[in-house]
Amino acid sequence: MKWKEQILNLRAYQPGKSIEEVKRQYQLDSIVKLASNENPFGYSPNVDTALKEFHSSFILYPDGGAFKLREATASLLGVNKDQLIFANGTDELVQIISRAMLEHGKNTVMATPTFPQYKHAAIVEGAEVREVELVNGSHDLNKMLAVIDENTAIVWVCSPNNPTGSYIPEDELRSFLESVPEDVLVVLDEAYFEYVNDSYNSLAFLNQFPNLIIMRTFSKMYGLASFRVGYGVSSATNIKRLEPVRLPFNTNVLGQLVASAAITDQDFVKSCRQRNSEEREKYYTFCQENELHYYPSQGNFILIDFGRDGDEVAQFLLSKGLIVRSGKSLGFPTSARITIGLEESNERVRSAIKELLEKGVELQEDFS
């Protein structure tokens, strides 16, 4: 059959092991999943209230325009309602933007390693992918500028970057935006924005730079990953171009309901940011004490370099009931990306790592 040539070598997304799977495999009772940066502190109690009070019919299609969620989001962000597009997670927004702009003959610029869906979507559309190596875990914005040419349609910047957690400083982002040609779309992926301490207001750039779109999600800090809701904020003109490319009913009735309930609870957001930040600090101290390299992170995860095969590290932690993400598939073969969890989970992780490090020493001694 006549498949697009470029999809023949693509692999489907490989989800991490589920809690049930690990329970069965290792006969363990207590499993903690720290592999996908979900929120271990849960979600706002407003969500449960909204779900309890929900009694609409499931027969009807959802509101394709997500009216209530649109109003709540516009009001929190201080933007107009026509500056928003909602999607089945930001994953879908990546796809929508790519479908709207990319095709054979065009190219798209991104960092590497970064969130893999930008590249994946670009390949499906047949566009050329130009990847620019991170420097010390951060975007090399100057080099990214240098590879933009007249066929570049989209530049992706992920801040905080997944998997390193680095956050682009405001002045760097501003001068980057000033230098990107006006006809190139800059997508700023802020999936972890809510976790950033002392964040700047990136939305303020939208007035000055009509070629900017900012993506955020309800999957991470808001703790609603299973409902699949993300959104983009840009100029009304850009949103108008993107809207026809999305599916008519891409967000569902429950997703819209819980997201609009969650977004009104900014106290929850603040408290999670604080708790995450405290727990992240403990990892820093631990890494310093044990001479492990890590990237300072503004997200709810930390990438630690163990100086040995990342799959082995992940496998060892798995045998202790701790599901983390090996850095191997993330472009950091000797690292693991660990979601910051509840205090007791993090302690479990650190004592398991400690055990691994001690074991490692023994192994080396056995060798000599």
Question: 128 pairs with which residues across the strands?
Answer: 107
What is the rounded distance in angstroms from the CA atom of residue 255 to the CA atom of residue 248?
A: 15
CB-wise, 188 or 352, nearer to ligand PLP?
Answer: 188
DSSP state of 156: E
CB of 117 to ligand PLP, least distance (A): 7
Distance of alpha carbon 96 from alpha carbon 85, whole angstroms: 10
Closest distance to ligand PLP from the beta carbon of 192 (Å): 7
Closest residue to ligand PLP, judged by C-beta, is: 89
Long-range contacts from 64-72, C-beta under 8 angstroms, 24+ separation: 64/248, 64/249, 66/251, 66/256, 68/256, 68/257, 68/260, 69/229, 69/251, 69/256, 69/259, 69/260, 69/263, 71/260, 72/259, 72/260, 72/263, 72/264
> What residues make contact with ligand PLP under the rule CB under 6 A?
37, 89-91, 115, 158, 162, 189, 191, 217, 219-220, 225, 230
Shortest CB 288 distance to ligand PLP, Å: 26
Query: Closer to ligand PLP at the Cβ: 76 or 361?
Result: 76
Return the structure tokens found at 153.
């349609």
Residue 125 tokens read as 């559309």
In the complex, the smallest distance separating the C-beta of residue 38 from ligand PLP, rounded to whole angstroms, is 9
Residue number with CB closer to ligand PLP (189 or 305)? 189
> For residues 37 and 44, which CB has a smaller minimum distance to ligand PLP in the complex?
37
Least distance CB 1 / ligand PLP (angstroms): 30
Cβ proximity to ligand PLP, 268 vs 286, nearer residue:
268
Shortest distance (Å) from residue 355 CB to ligand PLP: 29
Alpha-helical regions (H) of 149-291? 170-179, 205-208, 236-242, 253-263, 266-289
Q: How many residues does the chain have?
A: 368
**Closest to ligand PLP by CB, 115 or 306:** 115
Q: What is the phi-psi region of residue 78: left when phi exceeds 0, alpha when psi lies from -120 to 50, beta otherwise?
A: left
